[in-house]
Amino acid sequence: MQLRPWEVRDTGALAQSCLGPDVRRWNRPAHLTVESAREKINQWRGRWQSEDAAIWAVALEGGEVLGLIGLAGLDLPGGQGEFLYWLLPAGRGGGLMVEATIHVSRWALEDLGLHRLRIVHSVANTASCRTAGRAGLRLEGTMREALLHADGWHDEHFHARVQGDDWPS
């Protein structure tokens, strides 16, 4: 597995990802054409430069995109960021997102100097809950009816890792 910047060659994979039912259900992506996917990748580059977000492609060593991971809502002075991630079906079930989440967590806390990272997800998204827990982000609570999905309001779990928490073994 590698984490790398999104590239123009990835526009087809990004556009295709928005058609998958699981990605659509939990992430509310807009329908992307190849052209709008190219624009989205350029927006992510701009958000990196403005220090607002850090978004990577989760890819095989050969370059095939399997998913996305990133930190959005970066608050460098406040020391915080929020994870966003998804995997295409070909990348699911092998712990790939747990590995990517730990890798990004180490970078954000040890290199970037953030103090707190968080993940929020629908309580019905059990895969995301497992990922957060296995990556060492502790469940802190449930926010009632906190996010509107296509099928209505969902309660959300709130997970966090702070500077000094033990790393998963």
CATH code for the domain defined by 2-162: 3.40.630.30
CB of 116 closer than 8 Å to CB of 108: no
Which pLDDT does position 144 carry in this prediction?
A: 97
Where are the chain's structural domains? Answer: 2-162
Task: List average pLDDT for each run of 10 residues in the chain, which is 169 residues long.
Answer: 93 82 65 85 94 95 91 96 93 94 98 97 95 98 92 95 94
| Residue 4: other Cβ atoms inside 10 A | 12
What was the pLDDT predicted at 102? 98
Residue whose tokens read 């019905």: 124
The sign of the dihedral angle between the CA atoms of 146, 161, 53, 98 is negative
Q: What is the pLDDT of residue 29?
A: 58
pLDDT for residue 69: 98
DSSP SS3 for 103: helix
Find out whether 67 and 92 touch, Cβ atoms under 8 Å: no
Residue 142, strand partner residues: 157
Say if CB 35 and CB 62 are below 8 A apart. Answer: no
Determine the residue type at 63.
G
Q: Phi, psi (5° rounding) for residue 79?
A: 70, 35
Q: Please report the pLDDT score of residue 25 as a whole number.
A: 65
Q: What is the pLDDT of residue 36?
A: 86
Q: What is the pLDDT of residue 24?
A: 63
- Per the confidence metrics, is the pTM higher than 0.75? yes
